[in-house]
Amino acid sequence: MRITITGGTGKLGRHLHEVLNSTHTVSLLGREADITDFGRLREAVQATEPDLVINAAAWTDVDGCAREPEKALLINGLGAQNVALAAASSQAAILHVSSNEVFDGQSQQPYNEFAPCRPISPYGYSKWAAEQGVMQVNPRHYIVRTAWLFAHGGKNFIHAILNAAHAGKALRVVIDEVANPTYNNDLAQAIAALIATERYGTYHLVNSGAVSRYQFARTILDMVGMTEYPIERITRAEWPRPSTPPAYAALQNNAAASVGITLRPWQEAVEAFLEYEKKS
């Protein structure tokens, strides 16, 4: 299969290339293929003659999206639709990477793939708009929602907690925000397995299990032997920020699990991440 990845210079795009390149012909499109410029994007996509386009391009600064909601909609929403249209112009399928923030966080149990979307932030709204645009213009689509992604080679929650602790800084972490920590490498492997099925639809690909931000932080420190390092428990109201994340946005993997695709528990994924970081 010929696969083209937009957002190819990002952490997920690069790891998807590593995972897929051994069995597929993979082309990476980076910043030169601006997903907000449909004409140039279509030319770049068509030049690769893809069977599938994976859209891993997005503006993931949720607070930035809150400050500039129109920019968020342009990049995340209309940009994703442009990618889907460009794929359709090459008779290619589209896989779009979305977010758990399309939900409002008011559920008392994990959201399944068919739960109604009610985003409460500009970032969440832009990702919901992206899903709608992709589904409307390209019937051969995969929508892959994920959550709390952590990857090697950049800033993430694990790095933030460990850097602060090693610097002796006070840690204050919220107890009332819950989701699924997800390892970038595991997500890439799951996406590779999903496209092999050619079963289009909406999927929740997250490491199994849900946890609060506080317990996530506590587990990280415990795993590196910092069991006595204190963390102050606070609420979201005590940590004001431009963007309002959903309080409970855990995802349930039903659709992918039905075809044998599951991701390991988030605790095992964190252990694997830390072990790799130790060796690198």
**Residue with structure tokens 């390149």?**
21
CB 231 within 8 Å of CB 171: yes
Instruction: Read off the tokens for 246.
Output: 């959903």
User: Residue with structure tokens 């390209």?
Assistant: 138
Check if the beta carbon of residue 80 is closer than 8 Å to that of residue 31: no
To 5 degrees, how large is the angle CA 179–CA 182–CA 188?
145
CA dihedral 104, 110, 113, 119 (to 10 degrees): 10
Query: 267-279 burial string, b = 16+ CB within 10 Å, else e?
Result: bebbeebeeeeee
Given the residues 111, 123, 142, 248, select the one marked as catalytic: 123
CB 220 within 8 Å of CB 267: no
DSSP 248: B
The DSSP bridge partners found for residue 6 are: 29, 55
Catalytic residue flag (residue 123): yes
Residues serving a catalytic function are 123
